[in-house]
Structure 1
Amino acid sequence: MPLRPLGLGDVLGGAFTVFRRNARVLLLWSFLVTGVVGALAKVVSTLAQGGLQSRMFSSLDSAGSSSDAASIAAGTATAFVLLSVGLPFVAALFRGFLLAPVAVDTGQRVLGRRATFRGIWGLLAGRRWSVVAWVLLQAAAGVLLGGVFLVLFIGFVAGLAGSRASFGWFLLAAVVVALGGGVVSTWLATKFAFTIPTIALEGRGVFSAAAQSWRLTRGAFWRTFGIMLLVTAMFAFAVSIASFPLQVATVFVSGVFDPLGQTSGSSGPGVWSVVVVVLGALLVTAVQCVTDVLSGSVLTLLAIDRRIRTEGLDQRIAAHLDTGQPADPFAPAEALPVRPPQQPWGPQQPWGPQPPQWQQQQWAPPQWGGPR
């Protein structure tokens, strides 16, 4: 990595270089931390959603009254939402744990070293519980934020129902609440994006690392958000391609060709359908493990770039590589003093005759001789 402020090409190229030169160790960390949970979440979600859909249609057929049908539909929809949102949310939390070892390995690659599995675990000594605390704090904040916007949505719906508004107003309320929640969560995620890399590299505590992330993103919010959005879109496209077999398997498991569950709803998914779902989930998980490592490395390099720009981290890294001092170049450091803005040029003085700066002395002939 060049010891200078990093551009987009440097960040992306550096992330792929980090992965290529230590792929075995990073993939092992990714599989142990996120791969197992992600595969289980995908299998359970796919099979459970298919079973819920089949049972809902069969229950609606046997429902005796409209109130029973409404209760069945509401319960099935709630379970479906919990599976569709809850399991991916848990998997996303585990990706937060993966970010710490990826950040440590990326920092070692910046110093020209190759970290081992045990070496990464040792470098995280004293910092693991801070990572755990931050991930749990994120989970609590996510649940709280979701609850707040859910209450707002229920309030909108209750108000519109009291006024007997049309369906369009209900749809507009849902869109407004969803957009508001998305904007707030995206803003917070960007401002605190460097918290775990800061914990892993600098050894700060939870709140100190969160404050450091807030400072590093100051003045660079849109750049950080843009690069994160670009990387997320690229890797989401790769995962969507890999998940195509899983989507095909979901079609067969959910009984789309028999939506009322008359033939396969009672017997459940077949053995081959389960096998295809498991294989598809493993393929998606493998691609997800690679993209998780690359995303974590990109985020770490963005944090290093901000420290280079605001704290002169490149100078400390160069001094460490030359003389060994400081012993830990990633340790917390004071921000560089902000340069005062240059004063604009003042109005030019008009051209005109300049006053003489000296007076011409009158020449006198020298006096020869002197007193005798």
Structure 2
Amino acid sequence: MSGDGGSPGQQQNGGQPQGPTAPGPGAPGPGGVPGAPGHWPGYGPAFGQPGWSTGGGWGRGPWGGVPVAPKPGVLPLRPLGFGEMFGAVFDTVRRYVRPLYLPLSVVVGIGAVPLLAVAFLISGSLRDGVEDFPDITVMDPTDTQVWNLARPLLLFFGMSALVGLVLYVVAGPLATVVLRAATLGRKLTAAQAWQEARPRLKASVATLALVYGPMLLLEALLMTGAVLFGDGLLLPFLLVGCGAFYVTFRLAPQIPVAVLEESGARTAVRRAWQLNRNNWWRSLGLTSLVSLLGAIGTTVINFPLRMVVAVMLPVGAAASGDGGDTRGTITVVLVLTALVSLVTMLATSPLVPLVNGVLYIDRRIRNERLDIALAEAAGIRFAESAAYPQYAPVPAQYAPAQPAPAQPAPAQPAPAQPAPAQPAQPAPARPASAPAEPASGEPGRPAEPPVGKGPEGS
């Protein structure tokens, strides 16, 4: 026996082998029940539907060992550890660069047009604001001077944030579709990924709007009230901010639910809230760590552009008010800043959606045995009692070969029956031959007494 607790088809339950069994006549097909909660199209029955089991899974084998989980793609099909989830995110990025980044590059290219247009349009007003801004060491700037400098910058960074929001909305369904293929180890082209993700864009937008729209509106109202009416609304503003922070990570699997289970916005929010119960700290830690490493990586990539921006940034003009920088210099700075922002958003936009997808898969494996359905979709069959993987196709001879070891048990008492049967057969054979010999070998002896009696009697 191998050291991992057994091999496919290992015997248990009294020595009888456990192998793949064909589904009964009334068993649901591999597609499950479409539209039901927990339904992952093409990957097993839905949660709570007939044919779904809540026991078993990757428990201990019959001899106390833990079977090795199959890994057809970037994830082992069992409950995941923190390091495995972290590695799966970057492993998916490494293996599926084109399906992830080619569609997102198109989105960035489209979004770069209005962003660069805004950069050219505000360069003149930004130059005027910089020239009118006084030396802060000599006198304080007025509200008008601050607004003249801040207004073009707000417009520029607002447009950049809008492009980033559109990119994140597109990256959510796209990264989820790519992760589904990466989990099963399937090849995926950029065109196929976009074709599968595009129908779920509307549901993703509705889900994000349902969750974050009310929170952002309430935060904006409270912030405006705090500015206009004093610090009385500062505490409610902070409380709402803390609640939004909690809800954001509690509802981390909402986009994977909307995409993989093909559900609406309200259903996706309710399902994500229930699915990610007691998993808030792991969601926070994994998302923060992946985002941090992504930010470090993009900082290294953008370092040359950032150095150029830092050198050409008219900080000296803003501090001295001499207006030595021209409009062309400010335009170049704005364009380089836009490029740095676009590259950063492009590189990091799939990371958080991939984290949310990995969290979703882990929660469903732990709570709903999604590993069994994913294994069957990848061509792997499990022995139901011990959850040992058995790689398809299984030979047809394997079914009759399994009961064969079970027949030696009744065959062992069979030798005990021939043992008394053999002495019983020679015993009657010997007396049968003994009387036959005297009858044939001495025929006169039985005839003499009647002859002797004859004369005596006569």
Same fold? TM cut 0.5: yes
Distance (whole Å) between structure 2 residues aligned to residue 280 and residue 75 of structure 1: 20
Instruction: Please state how far the C-alpha of 1:189 moved relative to its aligned partner.
Output: 1.6
Match of 2:207 in 1: 134
Please tell me whether the aligned partners of residues 103 and 200 of structure 1 are also in contact (alpha carbons under 8 angstroms).
Answer: yes
Task: Give the secondary structure class of the aligned counterpart of 1:219.
Answer: coil
Instruction: Please state how far the C-alpha of 1:107 moved relative to its aligned partner.
Output: 0.5
Of 176, 186, 189, the residue aligned with 1:116 is 189
Of 303, 317, 328, the residue aligned with 2:374 is 317
Match of 2:103 in 1: 29
Where do 1:40-59 residues align within 5 Å? 41=115, 54-59=127-132
Distance (whole Å) between structure 1 residues aligned to residue 162 and residue 198 of structure 2: 27
Distance 1:222 1:120, change over 3 A: same
Distance 1:51 1:247, change over 3 A: farther
Of 101, 106, 119, the residue aligned with 2:174 is 101
Match of 1:16 in 2: 90
Cα RMSD over matched residues?
Answer: 3.6
Amino acid at match of 2:96: N
The structure that is helix-richer by fraction is 1
Instruction: Please state how far the C-alpha of 1:253 moved relative to its aligned partner.
Output: 5.1
Please tell me whether the aligned partners of residues 58 and 262 of structure 1 are also in contact (alpha carbons under 8 angstroms).
Answer: yes
Match of 2:10 in 1: none
Distance (whole Å) between structure 2 residues aligned to residue 246 and residue 291 of structure 1: 17
Amino acid at match of 1:204: S
Match of 2:445 in 1: none
1:201 maps onto 2:275 in alignment: no
Distance (whole Å) between structure 2 residues aligned to residue 248 and residue 277 of structure 1: 14
Instruction: Please state how far the C-alpha of 1:138 moved relative to its aligned partner.
Output: 5.3
For structure 1, the residue ranges without an aligned partner over 5 or more in a row are: 160-172, 326-372
How many pairs align? 303
Give the structure with higher Rg (CA). Answer: 2
- Larger relative contact order (Cα-Cα within 8 Å, sequence gap ≥ 6): 1
Instruction: Please state how far the C-alpha of 1:100 moved relative to its aligned partner.
Output: 0.5
Task: Give the secondary structure class of the aligned counterpart of 2:252.
Answer: coil
Task: Give the secondary structure class of the aligned counterpart of 1:258.
Answer: helix
Match of 2:431 in 1: none
Distance (whole Å) between structure 2 residues aligned to residue 322 and residue 243 of structure 1: 43
Instruction: Please state how far the C-alpha of 1:320 moved relative to its aligned partner.
Output: 2.9
C-alpha distance after superposition, 1:289-328 (max 9, x if no partner):
2332233222211111111111111111123334799xxx
Please tell me whether the aligned partners of residues 108 and 115 of structure 1 are also in contact (alpha carbons under 8 angstroms).
Answer: yes
Instruction: Please state how far the C-alpha of 1:99 moved relative to its aligned partner.
Output: 1.4
Please tell me whether the aligned partners of residues 235 and 291 of structure 1 are also in contact (alpha carbons under 8 angstroms).
Answer: yes
- The range that moved more, 136-145 or 214-223, is 136-145
Of 215, 218, 222, the residue aligned with 1:145 is 218
Match of 1:157 in 2: 230
- The range that moved more, 252-261 or 113-122, is 252-261
Please tell me whether the aligned partners of residues 199 and 206 of structure 1 are also in contact (alpha carbons under 8 angstroms).
Answer: yes
Of 207, 210, 213, the residue aligned with 2:269 is 210
Where do 1:255-270 residues align within 5 Å? 255-259=314-318, 260=320, 262-264=322-324, 267-270=326-329
Distance (whole Å) between structure 1 residues aligned to residue 237 and residue 200 of structure 2: 35
Please tell me whether the aligned partners of residues 246 and 276 of structure 1 are also in contact (alpha carbons under 8 angstroms).
Answer: no
- The range that moved more, 31-40 or 198-207, is 31-40
Please tell me whether the aligned partners of residues 15 and 301 of structure 1 are also in contact (alpha carbons under 8 angstroms).
Answer: yes
Instruction: Please state how far the C-alpha of 1:115 moved relative to its aligned partner.
Output: 1.6
Distance 1:72 1:149, change over 3 A: same
Distance (whole Å) between structure 2 residues aligned to residue 11 and residue 39 of structure 1: 36
Amino acid at match of 1:91: G
Match of 1:220 in 2: 279
Amino acid at match of 2:317: D
Normalised by the size of structure 1, how large is the TM-score? 0.68
Amino acid at match of 1:33: V
Match of 2:39 in 1: none
Please tell me whether the aligned partners of residues 243 and 284 of structure 1 are also in contact (alpha carbons under 8 angstroms).
Answer: no
Instruction: Please state how far the C-alpha of 1:9 moved relative to its aligned partner.
Output: 1.6
Distance (whole Å) between structure 2 residues aligned to residue 17 and residue 54 of structure 1: 45
Of 338, 349, 352, the residue aligned with 1:295 is 352
Amino acid at match of 1:104: V
Match of 2:81 in 1: 7
Identical-pair percentage: 25
Match of 2:364 in 1: 307
Match of 1:183 in 2: 242
Instruction: Please state how far the C-alpha of 1:30 moved relative to its aligned partner.
Output: 2.0
- The range that moved more, 83-92 or 306-315, is 83-92
Instruction: Please state how far the C-alpha of 1:79 moved relative to its aligned partner.
Output: 5.0
Instruction: Please state how far the C-alpha of 1:35 moved relative to its aligned partner.
Output: 5.6
Distance (whole Å) between structure 2 residues aligned to residue 219 and residue 13 of structure 1: 22
Instruction: Please state how far the C-alpha of 1:126 moved relative to its aligned partner.
Output: 4.1
- The range that moved more, 190-199 or 143-152, is 143-152
Of 281, 301, 314, the residue aligned with 1:242 is 301
Instruction: Please state how far the C-alpha of 1:89 moved relative to its aligned partner.
Output: 5.0
For structure 2, the residue ranges without an aligned partner over 5 or more in a row are: 1-74, 383-458
- The range that moved more, 253-262 or 304-313, is 253-262
Please tell me whether the aligned partners of residues 98 and 190 of structure 2 are also in contact (alpha carbons under 8 angstroms).
Answer: no
- The range that moved more, 8-17 or 222-231, is 8-17
Distance 1:57 1:110, change over 3 A: closer
Please tell me whether the aligned partners of residues 169 and 201 of structure 2 are also in contact (alpha carbons under 8 angstroms).
Answer: no
Amino acid at match of 1:4: R
Distance (whole Å) between structure 2 residues aligned to residue 180 and residue 15 of structure 1: 32
Instruction: Please state how far the C-alpha of 1:93 moved relative to its aligned partner.
Output: 4.1
Instruction: Please state how far the C-alpha of 1:82 moved relative to its aligned partner.
Output: 5.1
